[in-house]
Amino acid sequence: MKQLSVSEALNEALIEEMERDETVFVIGEDVGTYGGIFGVTAGLLERFGSRRVKDTPISESAIVGSAVGAAATGLRPVAELMMLDFATVCMDQIVNQAAKIRYMFGGKTKLPLVIRAEGGAGANAAAQHSQCLEAWFIHVPGLKVVMPSTPYDSKGLLKSAIRDDNPVIFVEHKVLYEISGDVPEEEYVIPLGEADIKREGTDVTVVTYSMMLHTTMSAAEKLSKEGISVEVVDPRTLYPLDKKTILDSVAKTNKLVIVHEAPKTCGFGAEIAALVADEAFDTLDAPIKRVTAPDTPVPFSPSLEGFYIPDEDDIIKTIKEIV
Catalytic residues, by residue number, are 129
Q: Is 314 exposed, middle or buried (0-12, 13-18, 19+ CB in 10 A)?
A: middle
DSSP 22: T
CA distance 17 to 4: 18
Q: Is 37 exposed, middle or buried (0-12, 13-18, 19+ CB in 10 A)?
A: middle
CA distance 239 to 233: 15
Q: What secondary structure does DSSP assign to 112-149, as a single string?
A: --EEEEEE-SSSS--TTS----HHHHHTSTT-EEE---
Strands (E), the chain: 2-5, 24-28, 53-55, 76-83, 114-119, 144-146, 168-173, 180-183, 196-199, 204-208, 230-234, 237-239, 256-263, 289-293
Contacts of 151 (CB under 8 A, 6+ apart): 4, 5, 6, 8, 9, 179, 180, 181, 182, 183
CA distance 222 to 232: 14
